[in-house]
């Protein structure tokens, strides 16, 4: 495998791909229109697929190509298409949703990235540079996904926040050399199964509430109970 | 690898999962209930052989603690399957469920049971994670089954919060692998509990700390620990009652077992942070929040879910205390709480069907209207409140005395939580069981239907005032089998 560090091709490309994913996480935070949110998510998934394949090549681990293929097929193609179809069916394509102001969202996002760098870099002193920075980038993507889930109100964008969070998880898993396939496969299973669940819920929520706004969910936890 | 999945141990999770497949083929709901009972009974019978199968392989790990918890889970699964036959038949009559949903209910119940048993017996962190995730998805589908607006809201919330929790746990698993890889090399070794325990001193402590934080928060979500506990009351209140009965104890046990094992690895590592204080802090907060949240609840099933948060917090606190005494107390507490809470939910479910509602306003004066049911519910609530002669009294006293020995300054807070919780449970017991009865709408509950609940209560009563020495030895062996448990 040779030396991996600044200036080495394998390192630079992995770093670039991880950085692109983080950038797209920021883009997701600032998107208001549901259709553009889905597009941005799809681009992030493509980046993840390329990152997984790149790691497969660098680590000489063919199973990672499979991870990349699953990420591309499921997350970059099938899921965005299904989401877009239900957006069309629910006539939400022009909908814009209220969220935090761009400045607040960006400031919180930058704070989370700083946090994850401050947490990961000192704890991984002995690990290779590639692993360290990959982990820091992955944790940032995870935290930004969480932030998106917290700050958005509709079920659609919360689902996308959740899936973006999982992109971060897979980025972490593929960056660790020699990790058995169990994790990648399990995440793929999770996304597929999870999405089936989500799809069912989206349909059912539409039937019951005529809206996808999760503010309706406060009914269960309301004070009278 | 193949032999792993053909061993007698693998039968324990496999039988319920095969039962789920069969239940998917059976259209008739009455017959489906018997398939569920048979599969759960098979799982329990296989689990009873686990103490003779102690050992570990690449993917499966049977040590006394996992054997104990697997037997417990399989037992509660069996009594719940027996209980739900009549319960579901009644739901079918009232139209809250239809034939297809009843069929799905049996599939979901058996999948949930099978995957939880797999998570308990798994030696591989990745497989345990997948199994817990699959169990979560089954439970989410189960909670959403009644398809009322409330149950869909509850299952959506359940799924989102637990999804985030389980995602954080996966990140923790990746970091733990990274921490152990230099010591164990790439491959399955660095994801295997037995290898991690042996190589614990060589694991990188800084990464182990990071993994601990994510695994604690992630699996803590499943255990209902503060701050990610808010799915529990909704899921318990809105789902079918038998799902609440298995959810109440078993998922907490799986999550707490994983946390316990991680705690053992950290204790054996020596250079990482002490996992005790964070665990005790989360546990203590959960005890206090659960206890004080009991005030002002109107829905009986929600009320008892908050009590589960309190009890799970107490078990986490005991695990945080550590040492043989702490782990023993935690195991005893998990055992009796699982049995007691399942008994409470079984009795509350019957009462709710009898009275046609599950709020405290709907259910009063049970002893006057339904003597056997009222007395059973009263006994179950007394057990959960931690009063003698039931086992929770013994386990709570054990945790408190361990706390006095190691952290005397926290004991008053812990006692406050337990007293407040117990007080409110008894106040509710009076309103549920005494006073003028509300009108009954459902059919009377005969004593045969209460048998599973009585078996639970009998076991916790025996564990409370006359624990056989064989059981005590077995629990001590289980506590010792946690690496670092015998510090």
> Which of A186, A189, A198, A212 should be substituted to probe chain B, the one whose Cβ sees the most B Cβ atoms within 10 Å?
A186
CB contact under 8 A, B124 and A182: yes
CB B117 within 8 A of CB B283: no
Alpha-carbon B62 to chain mean position: 19
CA–CA separation, A169 and A179 (whole Å): 13
Does residue B196 register a pLDDT over 80? yes
B58 touches chain A (CB under 8 A): no
Of A119, A126, A194, the CB nearest to B163: A194
Q: Is A166 helix (H, G, I), strand (E, B) or coil?
A: helix
| Mean pLDDT lowest among A90-94, A182-186, B294-298, B392-396 | A182-186
For residue range B301-319, what is the model confidence (pLDDT) as tens digits?
999 999 999 999 999 999 9
Distances (CA, A) of B445 to B349, B365, B409, B416, B441: 11, 15, 48, 37, 12
pLDDT of residue B377: 93
CB B25 within 8 A of CB B107: no
CA–CA separation, B464 and B311 (whole Å): 16
CB B339 within 8 A of CB B394: no
The pLDDT of B16-28, averaged and rounded, is: 90
Q: Bigger pLDDT: A192 or A165? A: A165
CB contact under 8 A, B152 and A219: no
| Mean pLDDT lowest among B57-66, B337-346, B410-419 | B57-66
pLDDT of residue A100: 75
pLDDT of residue B296: 83
Measured between CA atoms, the residue of chain B closest to residue A126 is B204
pLDDT of residue A208: 53
pLDDT band at A202 (very low <50, low <70, confident <90, very high): low
> Which residues does chain B have within 8 Å of residue A216's beta carbon, measured at their own beta carbons?
153
pLDDT of residue A70: 82
CB A38 within 8 A of CB A32: no
pLDDT of residue A224: 38
CA–CA min distance B306, chain A (Å): 13
pLDDT band at A48 (very low <50, low <70, confident <90, very high): very high
CB B444 within 8 A of CB B317: no
CA–CA separation, B217 and B128 (whole Å): 16
Residues 6+ apart with CB under 8 A from B341: B245, B248, B249, B304, B307, B308, B311, B384
Does residue B147 register a pLDDT over 80? no
pLDDT of residue A222: 46
Chain A / chain B CB contacts < 8 angstroms: 129
Does residue A155 register a pLDDT over 80? no
Mean of all residue pLDDT scores within chain B:
89
Distances (CA, A) of A68 to A46, A194, B216: 9, 19, 29
CB B259 within 8 A of CB B219: yes
DSSP B56: E
The pLDDT of A2-6, averaged and rounded, is: 51
DSSP A101: -
B200 touches chain A (CB under 8 A): no
pLDDT of residue B29: 80
pLDDT of residue B56: 85
Q: A125: exposed, middle or buried (C-beta count within 10 Å: 0-12, 13-18, 19+)?
A: exposed
Distances (CA, A) of B337 to A173, B41, B105, B442: 37, 21, 25, 29
Q: Bigger pLDDT: B78 or B166? A: B78
pLDDT band at B34 (very low <50, low <70, confident <90, very high): very high
B182 touches chain A (CB under 8 A): yes
CB B78 within 8 A of CB B41: yes
Does residue B118 register a pLDDT over 50? yes
pLDDT of residue B486: 44
Token representation of residue B278: 């964070």
Q: Which secondary-structure segment (H or E) carries B269?
A: helix B252-269
CB contact under 8 A, B174 and A165: no
CA–CA min distance B219, chain A (Å): 16
CA–CA min distance A203, chain B (Å): 11
B178 touches chain A (CB under 8 A): yes
CA–CA separation, B62 and B260 (whole Å): 15
| Mean pLDDT lowest among A21-30, A90-99, A207-216, B125-134 | A207-216
Q: Which secondary-structure segment (H or E) carries B160?
A: helix B149-184
Phi, psi of B133 (to 5 degrees): -65, -45
The pLDDT of B259-270, averaged and rounded, is: 88
B30 touches chain A (CB under 8 A): no
For residue range B211-250, what is the model confidence (pLDDT) as tens digits?
999 999 999 998 888 888 888 888 888 888 898 888 877 8
The pLDDT of B249-263, averaged and rounded, is: 89
CA–CA separation, B326 and B313 (whole Å): 14
CB contact under 8 A, A162 and B187: no
The pLDDT of B405-420, averaged and rounded, is: 93
CB B332 within 8 A of CB B395: yes
CB B433 within 8 A of CB B378: yes
Token representation of residue A34: 């549901």
For residue range A110-149, what is the model confidence (pLDDT) as tens digits?
999 999 888 888 877 766 666 778 889 999 999 999 898 8
CB contact under 8 A, A220 and B237: yes
CB contact under 8 A, B133 and A178: no
Q: Bigger pLDDT: B26 or B419? A: B419
pLDDT of residue A130: 67
B271 touches chain A (CB under 8 A): no
Tokens 């983080």, located at residue: A22
Question: What is the number of alpha carbons within 13 Å of residue B60 lying toward its C-beta?
Answer: 24
CA–CA separation, B36 and A222 (whole Å): 36
B27 touches chain A (CB under 8 A): no
CB B384 within 8 A of CB B329: no
Does residue B119 register a pLDDT over 70? yes
CB B245 within 8 A of CB B83: yes
Alpha-carbon B162 to chain mean position: 15
pLDDT of residue A67: 83
pLDDT of residue B257: 93
Does residue B82 register a pLDDT over 50? yes
Phi, psi of B322 (to 5 degrees): 70, -165
CA–CA min distance A16, chain B (Å): 21
> Which residues does chain B have within 8 Å of residue A119's beta carbon, measured at their own beta carbons?
210
Question: What is the number of alpha carbons within 13 Å of residue B3 lying toward its C-beta?
Answer: 3
Torsion angle of C-alpha atoms B165, B170, B171, B172, degrees rounded to 10: 90
CA–CA min distance B427, chain A (Å): 18
CB contact under 8 A, B163 and A179: no
Name the residue ranges covered by the structural domains of chain A. Answer: 9-217
pLDDT band at A74 (very low <50, low <70, confident <90, very high): confident
Does residue B337 register a pLDDT over 90? yes
The pLDDT of A16-41, averaged and rounded, is: 90
pLDDT band at A6 (very low <50, low <70, confident <90, very high): low
pLDDT of residue B1: 45
Q: Bigger pLDDT: A151 or A2? A: A151
Question: What is the number of alpha carbons within 13 Å of residue B405 lying toward its C-beta?
Answer: 13
Does residue A2 register a pLDDT over 60? no
The pLDDT of B205-209, averaged and rounded, is: 88
Does residue A223 register a pLDDT over 70? no
CA–CA min distance A159, chain B (Å): 9
pLDDT of residue B248: 78
CB contact under 8 A, B133 and A139: no
Angle between helical axes of B99-121 and B125-143 (0-180°, round to 10):
160
CB contact under 8 A, B210 and A217: no
CA angle B340, B342, B348 (to 5 degrees): 100
Does residue A164 register a pLDDT over 80? yes
pLDDT of residue A214: 59
CA–CA min distance A127, chain B (Å): 8
Measured between CA atoms, the residue of chain B closest to residue A174 is B174
B140 touches chain A (CB under 8 A): yes
Token representation of residue A138: 């992955």
Token representation of residue B466: 């006359």
Does residue B74 register a pLDDT over 80? yes
Range from A152-166, B27-41, B158-172 that averages highest in pLDDT:
B27-41
């Amino acid at each position: 495998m040779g030396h991996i560090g600044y200036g080495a091709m394998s390192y630079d490309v992995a770093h670039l791909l991880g950085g692109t994913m983080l950038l797209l996480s920021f883009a997701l935070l600032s998107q208001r229109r549901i259709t553009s949110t889905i597009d941005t998510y799809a681009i992030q998934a493509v980046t993840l697929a390329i990152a997984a394949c790149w790691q497969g090549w660098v680590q000489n681990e063919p199973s990672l190509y499979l991870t990349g293929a699953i990420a591309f097929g499921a997350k970059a193609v099938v899921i965005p298409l299904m989401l877009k179809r239900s957006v069309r069916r629910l006539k939400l394509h022009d909908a814009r949703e209220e969220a935090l102001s761009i400045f607040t969202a960006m400031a919180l996002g930058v704070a989370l990235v700083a946090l994850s760098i401050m947490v990961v870099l000192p704890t991984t002193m002995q690990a290779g540079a590639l692993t360290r920075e990959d982990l820091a980038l992955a944790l940032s993507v995870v935290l930004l996904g969480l932030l998106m889930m917290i700050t958005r109100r509709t079920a659609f964008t919360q689902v996308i926040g959740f899936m973006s969070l999982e992109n971060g998880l897979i980025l972490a898993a593929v960056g660790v050399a020699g990790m058995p396939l169990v994790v990648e496969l399990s995440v793929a299973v999770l996304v597929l199964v999870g999405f089936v669940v989500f799809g069912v819920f989206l349909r059912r929520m539409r039937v019951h509430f005529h809206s996808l706004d999760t503010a309706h969910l406060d009914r269960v936890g309301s004070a009278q109970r | 690898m193949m032999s792993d999945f053909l061993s007698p141990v693998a039968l324990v999770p496999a039988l319920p999962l095969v039962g789920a497949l069969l239940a998917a083929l059976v259209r008739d709901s009455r017959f489906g209930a018997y398939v569920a009972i048979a599969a759960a009974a098979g799982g329990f019978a296989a689990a009873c052989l686990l103490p003779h199968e102690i050992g570990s392989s690449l993917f499966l790990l049977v040590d006394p603690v996992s054997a104990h918890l697997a037997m417990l889970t399989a037992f509660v699964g069996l009594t719940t399957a027996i209980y739900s036959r009549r319960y579901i038949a009644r739901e079918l009559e009232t139209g809250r469920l239809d034939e297809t949903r009843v069929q799905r209910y049996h599939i979901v119940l058996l999948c949930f049971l099978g995957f939880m048993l797999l998570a308990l017996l798994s030696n591989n962190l990745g497989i345990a994670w997948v199994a817990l995730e699959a169990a979560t998805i089954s439970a989410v589908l189960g909670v959403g089954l009644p398809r009322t607006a409330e149950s869909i809201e509850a299952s959506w919330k359940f799924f989102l919060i637990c999804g985030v929790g389980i995602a954080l746990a996966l990140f923790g698993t990746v970091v733990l692998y990274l921490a152990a890889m230099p010591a164990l090399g790439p491959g399955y070794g660095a994801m295997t509990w037995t290898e991690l325990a042996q190589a614990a001193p060589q694991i990188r402590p800084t990464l182990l700390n990071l993994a601990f934080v994510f695994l604690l928060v992630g699996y803590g979500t499943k255990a209902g620990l503060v701050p990610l506990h808010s799915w529990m009351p909704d899921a318990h209140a809105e789902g079918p009652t038998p799902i609440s009965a298995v959810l109440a104890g078993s998922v907490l046990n799986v999550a707490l077992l994983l946390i316990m094992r991680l705690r053992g690895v950290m204790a054996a590592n020596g250079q990482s942070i002490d996992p005790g204080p964070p665990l005790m802090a989360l546990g203590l907060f959960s005890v206090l929040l659960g206890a004080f949240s009991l005030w002002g609840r109107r829905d009986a099933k929600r009320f008892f879910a908050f009590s589960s948060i309190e009890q799970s917090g107490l078990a986490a606190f005991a695990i945080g205390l550590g040492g043989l005494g702490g782990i023993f107390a935690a195991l005893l507490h998990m055992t009796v709480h699982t049995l007691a809470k399942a008994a409470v939910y079984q009795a509350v479910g019957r009462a709710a069907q009898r009275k046609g509602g599950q709020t405290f306003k709907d259910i009063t004066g049970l002893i006057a209207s339904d003597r056997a049911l009222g007395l059973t519910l009263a006994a179950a609530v007394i057990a959960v409140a931690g009063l003698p002669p039931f086992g929770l009294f013994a386990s709570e006293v054990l945790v408190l005395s361990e706390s006095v020995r190691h952290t005397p300054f926290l004991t008053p807070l812990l006692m406050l939580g337990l007293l407040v919780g117990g007080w409110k449970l008894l106040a509710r017991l009076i309103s549920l069981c005494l006073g003028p009865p509300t009108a009954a709408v459902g059919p009377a509950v005969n004593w045969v239907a209460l048998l599973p609940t009585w078996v639970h209560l009998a076991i916790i009563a025996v564990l409370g005032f006359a624990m056989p020495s064989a059981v005590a030895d077995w629990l001590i062996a289980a506590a010792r089998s946690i690496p670092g448990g015998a510090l």
